[in-house]
């Protein structure tokens, strides 16, 4: 765990260094939320009223990676052993690409976009009422690189790594006058590998007859674990832009395959404890070879159309948008295999969950510029999500030496959720004061039907307010204050009440009675530029009620069951500090740190109350070795923390990256070595009645990636008047 004095000492040292390197004269800071440049370089992170923006090109360690690697540079972001992103202790966020929902969600969506294709990433931590309400830590919008001049623009990016990662993406863009046409394609196979060890002790929940004997099992697993992200996506679109009319049509389609699994050697020991005389004796010792597999395959298609009509010179406008996504086939496959040391199968399961899914989002909005600095926006948005399919499983029958289907566990299902959301919002500026305030109403219809098990039918209406306030002066700097109410609504995959297999010793079950989480988020930030140094201090508070989490309990001797429940309530308050400065003209230093205080109150018998302090520290050094040569060295510390049934310990890791630009900037070569000192380790401990589980995960070493990016531009000889030059920014629509 992180001790508070150590964290405060780190903050003090950062402030002292910033003061030493800062110039005495203060630069004017009268432009609210502006992007700050340091000696001609774009700032790594810049800020606006309701968001922070990360410049992807400044993150050298993301070369050859994805949006996930760009976000490692953000205070409060951590990546776990399976490659999943957490921000301020949560993995619940929405992902958009150029202002439109990604075909995928969560970490999968971030892994789909290569870092070489990204211009900026925007993080809205307290989104306004005009945005969707899901995701307790907000919205992540990925702004891709786009051509700004007439003519041809061709970009090709490729990556290979020692982990076996391979990726290639290309985009061809032709822009002329008011018209822009583009086609793009991406193929990637991103690997995540680790060494895995786990020691697990379980006791039988039902003592055997005769004297109250209790069976216990202790197992030690040792082996490797992997997780892959494979995407094959094609994309095309058309854009039309004049002073009065803006039209965008986008089509995407392809396949995603996300396999994961492990190859383990299990050493197990069964013991019988006598409840009368407190003696115990060993019943059996075995060594088993385990191979577990999981694979989620999707064939998907998405289309989006957006139209904006500017009504007058004042800027009033009407916007209409619609997005349709269709998964014509999706299959979730799980497989567990257990062999003895002679290669004879002892246990095994094969589970199939086949799905057909579609969802549609639409919006209509009207924006009124009632004065030069003030706007009023109102609109209506809807979302409908439908999914149907079935689940079936077969078990290995040892006497018959074959897999047998369990017909009594066959479970067809149907799920549909509709959301109807009117909203209204006002934005204005009075001198140095800028503000917005809004209210959103969500009316939901939530239906689930599992004919062989249960059903769920709900209708309800909820209110979601938001507000932001900013005040800027040249001497005091910029202050911003934001608030929003949000939610995490459980999807069908969390509601399904049948058992699936993570591996033979770990089983998972959903919960049809699961309720939504509700979150109140507030954030206060101060930013100040002094000479070549920018300081940002952010404080936030977040309260979550009905926290959704997996609870582990003993299911059988040697087997645990992870059940998803509303485990309790959590309060989390934190401070984030970031300092960016240039000690010399060839060295830019970014130091960031976060300190979080959390207080968890359990409402479930299997959980315990917890409170404590955790945090992160990042030191990011950018060196300009020559005009076209850059080097980056990062050090990161991730503090330990409590989880509902145990704790996770702290760890550190270091990354090193280099970039060489050739052919007048057209060609870039990048080399990145992750975890160069092999110090990243993930260690967790869970305890409960009849259960103790301790896990160690260590990423495979080495992990070195080589990337090549080539961008070719051929400007048109025609006049550029009327050409599209506006970047696609996430500035108010919710598609």
Q: How far apart are CA 610 and CA 685, in angstroms?
A: 14
Q: Which residues constitute the domain of residue 351?
A: 4-246+258-715
Q: How far apart are CA 65 and CA 582, in angstroms?
A: 26
Tell me, what DSSP letter sits at residue 585?
T
Domains: count for the chain: 1
Report residue 26's pLDDT band, with 50, 70 and 90 as the boundaries.
Answer: very low
Q: Is residue 732 part of a domain?
A: no
Q: Is residue 734 part of a domain?
A: no
Closest among 629, 653, 488 to 570, alpha carbons compared: 488
Q: How far apart are CA 456 and CA 458, in angstroms?
A: 7
Q: Is residue 411 part of a domain?
A: yes
Closest among 173, 183, 53, 186 to 114, alpha carbons compared: 186
Closest among 359, 365, 356, 299 to 323, alpha carbons compared: 359
* Token duo for residue 82: 């399976």
Average pLDDT score over residue span 223-235? 93
Average pLDDT score over residue span 300-327? 94
Q: What is the pLDDT of residue 279?
A: 63
Q: Is residue 615 part of a domain?
A: yes
Distances in Å between the Cα of 261 and the Cα atoms of 111, 189, 191, 293, 502 are 18, 15, 12, 4, 8
Q: Does residue 654 have a pLDDT over 90?
A: yes
Average pLDDT score over residue span 646-668? 92
Coil vs helix vs strand at 275? coil
CATH number of the domain where residue 162 is located? 2.40.170.20
In DSSP terms, which residues pair with 294 in a beta bridge?
260, 334
Q: Does residue 471 have a pLDDT over 90?
A: yes
DSSP of 37-71, one letter per residue? EETTEEPSEEEETTEEEEEGGG-GGGTTSBHHHHG
Q: Does residue 5 have a pLDDT over 50?
A: no
Half-sphere exposure of 444 (CA within 13 A, CB side): 20
Q: How far apart are CA 477 and CA 537, in angstroms?
A: 11
Q: Is residue 553 part of a domain?
A: yes
Q: Does residue 7 have a pLDDT over 50?
A: no
Backbone angles phi, psi at 181, to 5 degrees: -125, 140
Q: How far apart are CA 655 and CA 702, in angstroms?
A: 11
This model's pTM is above 0.75: yes
Coil vs helix vs strand at 494? helix
Closest among 278, 178, 265, 259 to 220, alpha carbons compared: 265
The alpha carbon of 199 is separated from its chain's Cα centroid by a whole number of angstroms, namely 29
The b/e string for 337-361 (b: 16+ C-beta within 10 A; e otherwise) is bbeeeeeeeeebbbbebebebbbeb
Is the pLDDT higher at 468 or at 602?
Answer: 468
Average pLDDT score over residue span 630-648? 88
Residues 6+ apart with CB under 8 A from 697: 81, 194, 195, 196, 197, 225, 681, 682, 683
* Token duo for residue 547: 């926290």
Q: What is the pLDDT of residue 22?
A: 37
* Token duo for residue 258: 């996300």
* Token duo for residue 19: 């003061």
Average pLDDT score over residue span 279-290? 80
Q: Does residue 81 have a pLDDT over 90?
A: no
Through-space distance between the first and last CA atoms of the chain, rounded to whole angstroms? 41
Report residue 706's pLDDT band, with 50, 70 and 90 as the boundaries.
Answer: very high
Kind and range of the H or E run holding 18: helix 4-21
* Token duo for residue 465: 């307010």
Coil vs helix vs strand at 266? strand
SS (H, E, C) 327-357: EEEEEEEEEEEEECCCCCEEEEEEEEEEEEE
Average pLDDT over the chain, rounded to an integer? 85
Residues 6+ apart with CB under 8 A from 419: 381, 382, 383, 384, 442, 443, 444
Q: Is residue 252 part of a domain?
A: no
Q: How far apart are CA 31 and CA 267, in angstroms?
A: 65
Q: Is residue 109 part of a domain?
A: yes
Q: How far apart are CA 9 and CA 637, in angstroms?
A: 14
523, 136 contact by CB (below 8 A) = no
Q: Does residue 349 have a pLDDT over 60?
A: yes
Q: Does residue 240 have a pLDDT over 60?
A: yes
The pLDDT > 70 percentage for the chain reads 89
Q: Is residue 731 part of a domain?
A: no
Report residue 446's pLDDT band, with 50, 70 and 90 as the boundaries.
Answer: very high
């Amino acid at each position: 765990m992180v001790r508070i004095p150590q964290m405060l000492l780190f903050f003090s040292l950062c402030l002292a260094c910033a003061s030493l390197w800062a110039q005495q004269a203060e630069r004017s800071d009268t432009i609210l939320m502006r992007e700050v440049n340091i000696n001609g370089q774009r700032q790594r992170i810049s800020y606006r009223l309701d968001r922070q923006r990360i410049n992807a090109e400044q993150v050298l360690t993301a070369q050859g990676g994805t949006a996930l690697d760009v976000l490692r540079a953000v205070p409060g972001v951590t990546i776990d052993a399976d490659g999943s992103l957490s921000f301020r202790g949560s993995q619940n966020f929405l992902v958009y690409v150029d202002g439109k929902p990604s075909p995928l969600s969560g970490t999968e969506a971030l892994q789909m976009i290569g870092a070489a294709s990204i211009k900026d990433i925007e993080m809205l931590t307290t989104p306004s009422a005009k945005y969707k309400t899901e995701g307790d830590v907000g919205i992540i919008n990925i702004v891709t690189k786009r051509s700004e001049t007439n003519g041809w623009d061709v970009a090709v990016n490729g990556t290979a790594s020692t982990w076996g990662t391979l990726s290639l993406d290309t985009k061809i863009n032709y822009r002329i006058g008011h018209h822009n046409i583009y086609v793009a394609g991406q193929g990637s196979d991103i690997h995540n590998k680790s060494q895995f060890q786990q020691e697990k002790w379980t006791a039988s929940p039902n003592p055997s007859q005769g004297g109250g004997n209790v069976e216990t099992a202790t197992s030690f697993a040792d082996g490797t674990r992997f997780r892959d992200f494979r995407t094959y996506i094609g994309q095309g679109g058309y854009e039309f832009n004049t002073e009065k009319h803006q039209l965008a049509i986008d089509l995407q389609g392809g396949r995603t395959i996300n396999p994961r699994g492990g190859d383990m050697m299990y050493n197990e020991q069964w013991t019988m404890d006598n409840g009368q005389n407190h003696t115990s004796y060993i019943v059996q010792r075995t060594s088993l070879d385990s191979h577990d597999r999981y694979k989620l395959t999707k064939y998907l298609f998405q289309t989006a159309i957006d139209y904006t009509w500017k009504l007058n010179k004042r800027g009033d406008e009407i916007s209409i948008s619609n997005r349709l996504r269709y998964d014509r086939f999706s299959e979730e496959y799980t497989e567990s295999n257990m062999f003895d040391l002679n290669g004879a199968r002892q246990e095994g399961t094969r589970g199939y969950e086949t799905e057909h899914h579609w969802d549609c989002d639409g919006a209509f909005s009207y924006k009124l510029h009632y004065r030069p600095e003030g706007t009023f926006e109102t609109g209506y948005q809807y979302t409908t999500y439908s999914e149907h399919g079935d689940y079936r499983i077969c078990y290995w029958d040892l006497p018959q030496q074959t897999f047998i289907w369990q017909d009594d566990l066959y479970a067809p299902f149907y799920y549909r959720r509709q959301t109807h959301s009117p909203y209204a919002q006002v934005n204005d500026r009075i001198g140095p004061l800028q503000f917005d305030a809004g209210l959103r109403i969500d009316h939901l219809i939530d239906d689930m039907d599992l004919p062989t098990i249960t059903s769920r039918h709900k209708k309800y209406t909820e209110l979601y307010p938001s507000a932001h306030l900013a005040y800027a002066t040249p001497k005091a700097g910029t202050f911003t204050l934001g608030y929003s109410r949000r939610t995490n609504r459980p999807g069908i995959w969390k509601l399904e009440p049948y058992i699936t297999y993570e591996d033979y010793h770990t089983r998972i079950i959903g919960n049809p009675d699961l309720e939504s989480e509700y979150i109140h988020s507030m954030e206060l930030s101060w930013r100040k530029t002094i000479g070549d140094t920018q300081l940002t201090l952010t404080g936030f508070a977040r309260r979550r009620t009905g926290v959704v989490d997996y609870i582990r309990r003993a299911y059988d001797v040697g087997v645990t069951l992870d059940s998803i429940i509303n485990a309790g309530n959590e309060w989390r308050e934190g401070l984030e500090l970031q300092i960016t400065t240039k000690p010399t003209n060839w060295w830019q230093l970014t130091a960031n740190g976060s300190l979080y205080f959390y207080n968890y109150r359990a409402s479930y018998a299997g959980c315990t109350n917890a409170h404590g302090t955790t945090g992160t520290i990042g030191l990011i050094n950018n060196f300009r070795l020559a005009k076209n040569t850059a080097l980056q060295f990062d050090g990161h510390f991730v503090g330990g923390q409590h989880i509902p049934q145990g704790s996770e310990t702290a760890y550190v890791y270091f990354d090193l990256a280099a970039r060489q630009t050739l052919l007048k900037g057209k060609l870039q070569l990048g080399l990145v070595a992750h975890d160069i000192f092999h110090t990243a380790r993930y260690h967790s401990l869970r305890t409960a009645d009849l259960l103790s589980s301790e896990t160690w995960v260590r990423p495979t070493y080495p992990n070195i990636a080589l990337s090549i990016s080539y961008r070719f531009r051929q400007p048109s000889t025609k006049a550029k008047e009327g050409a599209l030059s506006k970047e696609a920014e996430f500035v108010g629509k919710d598609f």
